[in-house]
Chains A and B, each alone.
Chain A
Amino acid sequence: EVQLVESGGGLVQPGRPLRLSCTTSGLTFSDHAMNWVRQAPGKGLEWVGLIRSQTYGGTTEYAASVKGRVTISRDESKSTAYLQMNSLKVEDTAVYYCTSSTSELPLAPLDIWGQGTMVTVSS
């Protein structure tokens, strides 16, 4: 069974950094792009960014709303993806989902989701 498990969420002060982790099991991690999607309380889904598989260069893409403040990385040896968020703002408060696709294509629908981890940015 494929599983994505996020961790690292919590309460953080504005301006501080936070790193989320997404540990995977049940899939060949190196073959799959990893995405982050967030959902502010009571709001819709917002795609944050992704890191491509090594097959496609392991490069990253970011939403305009977070570009320059977040970095997505991956550790093949740990089958884990990371979302490093810097200079956090109150409006970054959200549930952050790690998500991927069973397809190895670079553009694919997201059929694998973690349970989400809550990030609250508040003083």
Chain B
Amino acid sequence: AIRMTQSPSSLSASTGDRVTITCRASQGISSFLAWYQQKPGKAPKLLISATATLQPGVPSRFSGSASGTDFTLTISDLQSEDFGTYYCQQYYTYLYSFGQGTNLEIK
């Protein structure tokens, strides 16, 4: 099974900041990497698919990139509504697997 190692587990940032969340795959997954945002008590929401493709309606301050098996979610110009937990997920092969999550707090 492919293991997804996500970091940091939590971070606190101020509105207007630029934040980066990283996810490392234990083996190559091509570009089959998605990012989700989850707010308390709600289902996850797909933000980015195929490493860098923004889903409709997702603000352009969200972006994704990759270098080998390292994947990055960047939120530029952080807004108050961006709080929540972010997860990466590989869908390169079964079994699908998620990162451990990054809890983002807005100062």
Which A positions have Cβ atoms within 8 angstroms of B?
35, 37, 44-47, 50, 61-64, 97, 99, 107-111, 113-116
Q: Chain B nearest CB: distance from A93 CB in Å? A: 17
Chain B binding surface, main DSSP class: loop
Q: Which residues of B have CB within 8 Å of A116?
A: 43
B94 (CB) vs chain A CBs: closest residue:
A61
Beyond A45-B101, A97-B43: 18 further Cβ-contacts under 8 Å? A44-B100, A45-B38, A45-B89, A47-B89, A47-B95, A64-B1, A64-B95, A99-B43, A107-B32, A107-B91, A107-B92, A107-B94, A109-B46, A109-B50, A110-B46, A110-B91, A111-B49, A113-B44
A97 (CB) vs chain B CBs: closest residue:
B43
Which B positions have Cβ atoms within 8 angstroms of A?
1, 32, 34, 36, 38, 43-46, 49-50, 55, 85, 87, 89, 91-101
Q: Which residues of B have CB within 8 Å of A35?
A: 96
Q: Which residues of A have CB within 8 Å of B45?
A: 113
B34 (CB) vs chain A CBs: closest residue:
A109
- Alpha-carbon separation in the docked complex, A99 to B44 (Å): 10
- Alpha-carbon separation in the docked complex, A44 to B100 (Å): 6
A47 (CB) vs chain B CBs: closest residue:
B96
Known contacts A45-B101, A97-B43; decide if A109 and B95 are in contact (CB<8 Å). no
State the total of A-B contacts with C-beta under 8 angstroms. Answer: 60
Q: Which residues of A have CB within 8 Å of B95?
A: 47, 61-64
- Alpha-carbon separation in the docked complex, A115 to B100 (Å): 21
B98 (CB) vs chain A CBs: closest residue:
A45
- Alpha-carbon separation in the docked complex, A115 to B38 (Å): 12
Q: Are A44 and B1 interface neighbours, CB within 8 A? A: no
- Alpha-carbon separation in the docked complex, A46 to B100 (Å): 9
- Alpha-carbon separation in the docked complex, A62 to B96 (Å): 9
B45 (CB) vs chain A CBs: closest residue:
A113
Q: Which residues of B have CB within 8 Å of A44?
A: 85, 87, 98-101
Q: Chain B nearest CB: distance from A47 CB in Å? A: 4
- Alpha-carbon separation in the docked complex, A115 to B54 (Å): 22
Q: Chain A nearest CB: distance from B2 CB in Å? A: 11
